[in-house]
Chains A and B, each alone.
Chain A
């Protein structure tokens, strides 16, 4: 239903009203000004998931690693990374 793509914040345009905060988000060779209004905690170089020009949420690097850990247990192999 909802095409949302990970991208990295490469510049932030702060605003007095946090809902109006925007940032330049790079999607690996193509970038766009995206609303950061819903991710007030986002910092430069963070990865966010973007849909229709707004950042829906930050991507949690620790959780991403943990879920890969889960695959490795699931596959019963210790060398998976």
Chain B
């Protein structure tokens, strides 16, 4: 598989790991913001290839995990209504709302469809003109343009039976918030390559300079991640702090201007609540007023206003990289993938679930 296999080549990986060992003279803590990178790191055991004193901290980069409870409860209420076909990405189905998840509602007979793309929802809407179709738009700036193009096209095509429950979130505000709250505990960041393919990385320049922390925009394959770590460590060792781009084959500094233009048209920037982290200013994307007629929250009266999240686990600290999942007293005991206390245990991308799956030794 071109552009995958060469980035998983064992000899290249080994050389990079050796170069990292040779380079590093002191302990460093690096956070990978993106859940996709966390997944790769644990699946391939990349952290096992690093010198002991280089620590990877897993960040909040899982849009499924951070989707607020209010949005999930609204989704559940819409999905339960007769005559509705509710379309969602697969990984949203197991995220618990206040009482249950979409999967249980589906098991009780609701018409919930797993789609690969928001554009699949357009097809479903055209094939089911007597039904109301709702698409649940979650995810970062990588996924938001896909929702944007589906919203735009549904308006162009006058598809009136399709609406959108939108709660997309933006990465730079959370990186900034993390930089503030983690103070001196994290030395450098690996930026999320696919988000930057859309947004570019200009937004990170002032953040990087203000906080004096290196940010390396990084891809997702083992070779990418190791090279990202190498570049980040090199900056740290040389006392530099810059925004650097490891993922040049996909990311250019300004991102995808066409996608950005459509997103500006379809969405507006709003304050957003992040599950486990609280409200973060300007961190969300909602449908712009021009698309009110496609807004599922206006089309369906769910009677749900704001759902407050019950107090329990430490996912907030895990999402900030302040503790690792096994350090949570509930991890693997009261909190398991079947009985998740927090969304980081639900999503296969969540740091807790990834640890549970790849690292927990079942019998001690």
A residues lining the B interface (CB < 8 Å): 1-6, 8, 17, 19-20, 28, 32, 35, 37-40, 47, 49, 51-54, 56-57, 59-61, 63-64, 66-68, 70-71, 74-75, 77, 80
Contact status B15-A57, CB under 8 Å: no
Contact indicator B256/A56 (Cβ below 8 Å): yes
Q: Please state if A59 and B3 are interface contacts (CB–CB under 8 Å).
A: yes
B124-156 near A? 1/0 per residue, CB < 8 Å: 000000000000000110110110010011001
Is the interface on chain B under 10, 10 to 19, 20 to 34, or 35 or more residues?
35 or more
* Chain A to chain B: the 5 pairs with minimum beta-carbon distance, closest first: A53-B117, A2-B142, A6-B3, A75-B15, A64-B249
- A47 → chain B, closest Cβ, in Å? 6
8 contacts between A and B (CB under 8 A): A2-B139, A19-B153, A28-B2, A47-B2, A56-B197, A64-B249, A67-B246, A74-B19
Is B250's CB under 8 angstroms from A49's CB? Answer: yes
In this complex, what residue of B is CB-closest to A72? B15
Q: Is the interface of A mostly helix, strand, loop or mixed?
A: mixed
Nearest CB in chain B: distance from A32 CB, A: 8
- Bound CA–CA A53/B145 (angstroms): 10
Q: Is B185 part of the binding interface, using a Cβ–Cβ cutoff of 8 Å?
A: no
User: B248 — which chain A residues lie within 8 A by C-beta?
Assistant: 60, 63, 66-67
Closest chain-A Cβ to B189's Cβ sits at a distance in Å of 14
A40: contacting residue among B198, B258, B349, CB under 8 A: B258
A47 touches B89 (CB 8 A): no
